[in-house]
Amino acid sequence: METTMAAPAVIRHLQYASLSNGTRLHYASAGERGKPLMLFVHGFPEFWYEWEAQLAEFGHTHFAVAPDLRGFNLSSKPGDVESYRPRHIVEDLVQFIGALGYDQAIVVAHDWGGAICWNLAIQFPQLVRQLVIINSPHPYLFARALATDPEQQAASAYMNWLRKSGSEKALAANDFALLDRMLADADGKPAAWYTPQTRERYHAAWSQPGEGGVHPLTGGVNFYRASPMRPPGDGEAGPDLSQLDPARFVVRVPTLVIWGERDRALPKSLLNGLEDFVTDLRLERIPDGTHWVIHEQPEHVNLLIRSALPAG
């Protein structure tokens, strides 16, 4: 199956949805409202622009929409940690789908967006026609790895650093040097996709202030501060798996998982056992892809996504 050969669909910016929970989500879109909704959900430290190539492609056949999650870029940025509990972010997406005039969406998500959308599909399967997850571990499998796998605990140690007070200021120091480095390739060299123009777009997004003078990056790191998912620190126990019922984490919607296998923070071992939690699973591995495979191989990712879309 080939991707559309027409010119890229026009992407519209500076659109907003005001939700009944008080959140205001900024979003970009391509395609005509009324066509099937495709919702693209970004991770950290990204924003809607992560999905530029996907909006330009799928806007030909769908109403393709990429919001800024709360805490990012031009969406609401409350400063308190409680506002970033996963249930609130899931509720944002539930309301957002309705605010767009839909009762169902094809959901494509990466990184933190994937963590939220695993939960969306588990809790609200009627809203998710098709789930596509890119380099984001299933919540139960991730909790198990954080609790029992020393390799995963070491790979996720950065999460505890991000939870610390002042991490947002450290990320912003020296013109966002640490964030720029995060987006470097596996060899520590600037990634080919992270061009000066793209870097400028990201720096602008990372500079958008929050409500009441909240630091621009506080919302993003509050995802880590609010989450129970983290490796144990010194003297701490890992996540208590006895409090988690595996049966409550089963995904019952058609699911495609795409995984760049050179992801240093989320190794491919996180895929082990995934078939036990997804009733309709297709897994596509990209051996030379990193965590940023969406940027590195957009045409390949688009082909895989399109091959999984439901007919009609």
CA distance 55 to 120: 21
Choosing from 60, 62, 138, 291, the catalytic residue is 291
For 10-33, the pLDDT digits (tens) are 999 999 999 999 999 999 999 999
For 54-101, the pLDDT digits (tens) are 999 999 999 999 999 999 999 999 999 999 999 999 999 999 999 999
Tally of structural domains, the chain:
1
Listed in order, strand segments (DSSP E) in 207-261 are: 255-260
Residue 121: inside a domain, yes or no?
Answer: yes
Residue 2: inside a domain, yes or no?
Answer: no
Choosing from 111, 138, 140, 263, the catalytic residue is 111
Is 224 catalytic? The answer is yes
The pLDDT value recorded for residue 266 is: 97
Which run of H or E residues covers position 226? helix 218-226
The pLDDT value recorded for residue 240 is: 82
For 90-128, the pLDDT digits (tens) are 999 999 999 999 999 999 999 999 999 999 999 999 999
CA distance 258 to 201: 26
Residue 5: inside a domain, yes or no?
Answer: no
Residue 100: inside a domain, yes or no?
Answer: yes
What tokens does 173 get?
Answer: 């120091």
Residue 126: inside a domain, yes or no?
Answer: yes
Is 4 a residue whose pLDDT tops 50?
no
Which structural domain, as residue segments, surrounds residue 106?
11-308
Confidence of residue 312 (pLDDT cuts 50, 70, 90): low
Is 291 catalytic? The answer is yes
CA distance 305 to 180: 28
pTM: 0.96
Residue 52: inside a domain, yes or no?
Answer: yes
Residue 175: inside a domain, yes or no?
Answer: yes
Residue 39: inside a domain, yes or no?
Answer: yes
Q: Say which CATH number the domain at 249 has.
A: 3.40.50.1820
Confidence of residue 186 (pLDDT cuts 50, 70, 90): low
261, 159, 65, 288 alpha-carbon torsion, rounded to 10° = -10
Choosing from 84, 102, 140, 224, the catalytic residue is 224
